[in-house]
Structure 1
Amino acid sequence: MDIGSPVVNIAIFGGFVALTLIIVIRASRNNRTTADFYAGGRAFTGQQNGIAIAGDYLSAASFLGIAGAIAVYGYDGFLYSIGFLVAWLVALLLVAELLRNTGRFTMADVLSFRMRQRPVRMAAATSTLAVSFFYLLAQMAGAGGLVALLLGITDRGGQSLVIAVVGAIMVFYVLVGGMKGTTWVQIVKAVLLIAGAGGMTLWILAKYDFNLSAVLGAAVDAAGAEGAHLLEPMNQYGASALTKVDFISLALALVLGTAGLPHVLMRFYTVPSAKAARKSVTWAIALIGLFYLFTLVLGYGAGALVGADEILAAPGGVNSAAPLLAYELGGTLLLGFISAVAFATILAVVAGLTITASASFSHDVYANVIKKGDVSPQKEVRVARSTALVVGAVAIVGGVLANGQNIAFLVALAFAVAASANLPVILYSLFWKRFNTRGAVWAIYGGLITAVTLIVFSPVVSGKPDNPATGRSASMLDGVDFHWFPLDNPGIISIPAGFFFGWLGARLSKEFNAPKYAEMEVRSLTGAGAEKAVTH
């Protein structure tokens, strides 16, 4: 399928990449300390950080995956938007302010505050790297499908090359710009993404006299015999009792996962106070909620104007709905602009994930576990930059394997891992007086191992039949079947497992540091001493 002009698309892409590179290079001039590299010098206002959080959170899954899911599956696709948005209430009410007050650079700073440093930091770093990897899969797969659509690249070798280029640019962002450069890229990208999606939404509504019912009706009519189901729940998940359980599992992962995402949690450390952290989340919720309202119109608009069959037949599959809709509305120029915004979305999110993963390894594993706190800030930042290279390479390989999967669904897997491994230990650490080192380690590894094991042996990785639209298996691995876990998302099993292992481990250990708990409680509620180093 050839749409638009590859020359125009590449030119607009190049302009966006050049703009963001200039921003990154300018921001890098002030990167002198670990606080500058990891937390942007804590110099961002609540409003700036809230916009950046929206830019970090509104990933390729939100723009490409959800719009496509709504276009093809209707109501069930919009449930992704609802889950992703409601999840922010958990982050706002339970963790944002307390984490900002207690930690310094990473999630492990909070978890290890009143416990033994080395085992907890090692476990937290392992979990952070795992969650980041699953999230990176979605972004890299989105990049491959998007650019393949725009440049007419249909062979997997060409798409793999595209994924490698995206990985290289993203690593450059992190190596040069650190958190400051990444944050400014996310702010610019959030403004462009919300403005672009809002403009397309108004354009679609104008075509139907600003009548949303008319848009929904047109999508139903375009779908033919299957159209009536687009406005009903359980179109995608209602085929059997098993798929309904899978939906519950997905919903749990979406709602509980955000509060455990390391790259989201790390953003709370870029502001100077807890008040600014609260303001950040308020701004983020407003912008993210507005955007998800746009996805409803974009998804059904794509179904009405493009059609599900044409979307599924495109190189990016379901993920091609938004670019195809842009081409249908405004031709080559709008397609190039919207796709470049989507591409910038992927770059910004991947850069945020990469800096989180590299910071976790260098700060938690290298500085505090291997070197036991005896390391210079300059050396720690050098290790973080080296780690970014490794993370980039792993992301490229994973993106090649995940190419063609629905990226909204892939992100849901990352949410499931985060909710299983990170959320239980965060909540226990902040609110359970009796919690201790063994409980923290058991909660992280128990939830993580359960979630990853169930994903590896699920139909997501192997065993699904071929997709008629692409001729390839709907699983990541084609031609093999070793799955035994029946659900696509493991959340319904792995999230309770994380909480159970944390409770059991704490109960089986007599360790309890009452003075440290009292200090943590005061700091989390008041912010007193939040700027001090938490290593001890």
Structure 2
Amino acid sequence: MPMHRHAARAALTVVALPLATPAFAAAAETSSLNLTAISLFLCFVLLTLWITWKAAQRTKSTDDFYAAGGNITGFQNGLAIAGDAMSAGAFLGLTALVFTSGFDGLIYAIGYTTGMPIVVFLLAERLRKLGRYTFTDVVCSRLSERPIRIFAACASLVVVAFYLIAQMVGAGQLIQLLFGLDYLYAEFLVGVLMVCYVMFGGMVATTWVQIIKAGLLMAGATLIVLLVLVTYRFDFGALLAQAAAVHPKGTAILAPQAAPKDPLSALSLGLALMFGTAGLPHILMRFFTVPDARAARVSVFWAATFMNYFYALVFVLGFGALVMTAGNPAYIGVGGALRGGGNMAAIHLSHAVGGDAMMGFISAVAFATILAVVSGLTLAGASAVSHDLYAGVIRRGRLDEKSELRISRIATFVLGLVAIGLGIAFKGQNVAYMVSLAFAVACSSTFPVLLLALYWRGLTTTGAVVGGTVGLLSALGLTLVGPAVWVKVLGNPAPLFAMDPPTLVTLPLAFATCWLVSRLDRSAQAANDRERFDLQQQAA
């Protein structure tokens, strides 16, 4: 069984409580609401809405809406990028994976952090020099605009859709646990708030919500970790020993379990996590919010610093949750599973070490985390529709800023509805696992095209579109017939393609197709593409 499939399945079968079941609904109705937690939660939501209102007063142009006017500093942008990485998949999902699978859950944290150096060395500076709002602008600076924008918009929307699933599922479970709301209503609440953030505040609101919640999330996670370690007199070995004692698998959770059984899937997951960061549209958009290339490099330095610190905390959070919540009647629901599902391990741990006040604070920050990431994703998706497709392809650049902003806001509303639908369809899935699927699609489609456009003179428009499309369709198709969708969503007994994610196949396939088609391309457009690359190099 693949490493992450093993971890995700454990999260679903060992501790995940089926959502919206009659038993859970009855438990929610009979349990008293945590008024302290709810009060802090509502205060934080009001704070973020106030930030959005203030940002809306500054969002007057497409430059403000997409890139915050380029006025974000390197440190601020680094914290915002780290905030994007500290998503529901990182905080809720990774804690749940460590909670259920021990060491096997750590591979996600390693993969996420190793992706940032790739971004800084290969992409950050060149993106800022050549682009305007999206990574598509960078590729179009040397290739034919119309076909590239069509491909890039489609790839971005697919990646955004997969990433949205994880955030919406995490948010729905959090609201359901805190308020006792039905999962369906929780999804609509998240969708409405997210649309408000993006439609009115744009990148300014999204960035500042990210900055504030990233700082608060790191502070809250640090406090929880300290409270957990104090219990064991800062003896991490004693914590691990106790975790092994209470887990059904014993000391096996302290070492890799699934990788030796399926090394190809483990390698495939590692490739997806490492290179996927460099293909995520909502991350790449952040390099256009800073004033220059130097600030872009500084952004990645601070982002990597904050991310490494946070993921180190997650490992303690996972084992701490295992020790302090597993078997505790206060956190166990029907069938011996955690109340609210396995993704709620971090929330229950916050209550175990700090009571209602700590739970309220962490719940509020976790919800703000999800909203901020969802807002960034929605903004990336809206820009793909309005800037790349409508303005660049349909209107061929003949569009005023006011009209483009209007299209962006309409696209935001539609994407909000899509996000709600995806959250409902994929409820119960481990959120870290779902994020890995977005990484797999990104590193097989947008990453190869962007990297080759920046560094290889021989890339042609036809090669980029065909290669990127092959990577996108193969990653999407093999994911749909793999365990993530074919088995867990559609209910089939066995997957048609066992490797999960399929990156080990789709990433080399995308690069090879780009290379082969470009080498065979002898068109006039191909000659023009190579000439534009030479001119860029001379200008640099």
- Normalising by structure 1, report the TM-score: 0.91
> Does the 8 Å CA contact 1:100/1:274 hold for their aligned counterparts?
yes
Q: Which amino acid aligns with 1:484?
A: L
2:203 aligned residue: 179
Show the 5 A alignment for 1:125-140.
Answer: 125-140=153-168
Show the 5 A alignment for 1:460-499.
Answer: 460-463=484-487, 475-478=488-491, 480-481=492-493, 483-499=495-511
Hey, what's the Cα distance between the residues in 2 that align with 1:12 and 1:244? 45
Show the 5 A alignment for 1:156-167.
Answer: 158-167=182-191
Structure 1 stretches of 4+ moved >6 Å = none
1:92 aligned residue: 120
Of residues 173, 176, 188 in structure 2, which corresponds to 1:145? 173
Structure 1 gaps of 5+ residues are 464-474, 527-536
Of residues 534, 537, 540 in structure 2, which corresponds to 1:518? 534
Q: Deviations over 1:17-57 (max 9, x none)?
A: 10001011101111121111100000011011111111112
Of residues 271, 282, 287 in structure 2, which corresponds to 1:268? 287
1:409 aligned residue: 433
Hey, what's the Cα distance between the residues in 1 that align with 2:143 and 2:155? 17
1:468 aligned residue: none
Hey, what's the Cα distance between the residues in 2 that align with 1:522 and 1:179? 33
Of residues 21, 44, 69 in structure 2, which corresponds to 1:16? 44
Hey, what's the Cα distance between the residues in 2 that align with 1:149 and 1:313? 13
Hey, what's the Cα distance between the residues in 2 that align with 1:50 and 1:193? 15
Select between 418-427 and 143-152 the one with higher mean Cα deviation. 143-152
1:51 aligned residue: 79
Hey, what's the Cα distance between the residues in 2 that align with 1:504 and 1:6? 60
2:397 aligned residue: 373
- Number of aligned residue pairs: 503
Q: Secondary structure at the match of 2:196?
A: helix
Once the two structures are TM-superposed, the CA of residue 7 in structure 1 deviates from its matched residue by 3.1
Hey, what's the Cα distance between the residues in 1 that align with 2:285 and 2:407? 18
Of residues 270, 279, 296 in structure 2, which corresponds to 1:277? 296
Hey, what's the Cα distance between the residues in 1 that align with 2:360 and 2:490? 32
1:71 aligned residue: 99
2:352 aligned residue: 328
Hey, what's the Cα distance between the residues in 2 that align with 1:186 and 1:512? 43
Q: Deviations over 1:172-223 (max 9, x none)?
A: 1000001011101110110111111111111111111011111111111121
Of residues 505, 520, 525 in structure 1, which corresponds to 2:517? 505
Q: Secondary structure at the match of 2:477?
A: helix
> Does the 8 Å CA contact 1:72/1:308 hold for their aligned counterparts?
no
Q: Secondary structure at the match of 1:462?
A: helix
| 1:34 counterpart = 2:62 | yes
Once the two structures are TM-superposed, the CA of residue 149 in structure 1 deviates from its matched residue by 2.1
Hey, what's the Cα distance between the residues in 2 that align with 1:8 and 1:136? 29
Once the two structures are TM-superposed, the CA of residue 431 in structure 1 deviates from its matched residue by 0.6
**Residues 1:482 and 1:368: Cα distance change in structure 2 (over 3 Å):** farther
Hey, what's the Cα distance between the residues in 2 that align with 1:253 and 1:192? 29
Hey, what's the Cα distance between the residues in 2 that align with 1:130 and 1:92? 24
Q: Which amino acid aligns with 2:282?
A: H
Hey, what's the Cα distance between the residues in 2 that align with 1:251 and 1:128? 21
Hey, what's the Cα distance between the residues in 2 that align with 1:90 and 1:74? 27
Q: Which amino acid aligns with 1:362?
A: S
Q: Deviations over 1:160-179 (max 9, x none)?
A: 21011101100110000010
- Normalising by structure 2, report the TM-score: 0.90
> Does the 8 Å CA contact 1:102/1:520 hold for their aligned counterparts?
no
Q: Which amino acid aligns with 2:256?
A: P
Hey, what's the Cα distance between the residues in 1 that align with 2:253 and 2:168? 29
Q: Which amino acid aligns with 1:232?
A: A
Q: Which amino acid aligns with 1:144?
A: G
Hey, what's the Cα distance between the residues in 2 that align with 1:499 and 1:371? 31
Q: Secondary structure at the match of 2:498?
A: coil
> Does the 8 Å CA contact 1:91/1:258 hold for their aligned counterparts?
yes
> Does the 8 Å CA contact 1:96/1:278 hold for their aligned counterparts?
yes
| 1:385 counterpart = 2:400 | no
Of residues 263, 275, 282 in structure 2, which corresponds to 1:256? 275
Identity %: 43
Q: Which amino acid aligns with 1:190?
A: A
Q: Deviations over 1:473-513 (max 9, x none)?
A: xx1234x4573111231111111121122112212212122
1:296 aligned residue: 315
Q: Which amino acid aligns with 1:320?
A: M
1:534 aligned residue: none
Structure 2 gaps of 5+ residues are 1-26
Of residues 377, 383, 396 in structure 2, which corresponds to 1:359? 383
Q: Secondary structure at the match of 2:360?
A: helix
Once the two structures are TM-superposed, the CA of residue 314 in structure 1 deviates from its matched residue by 2.5
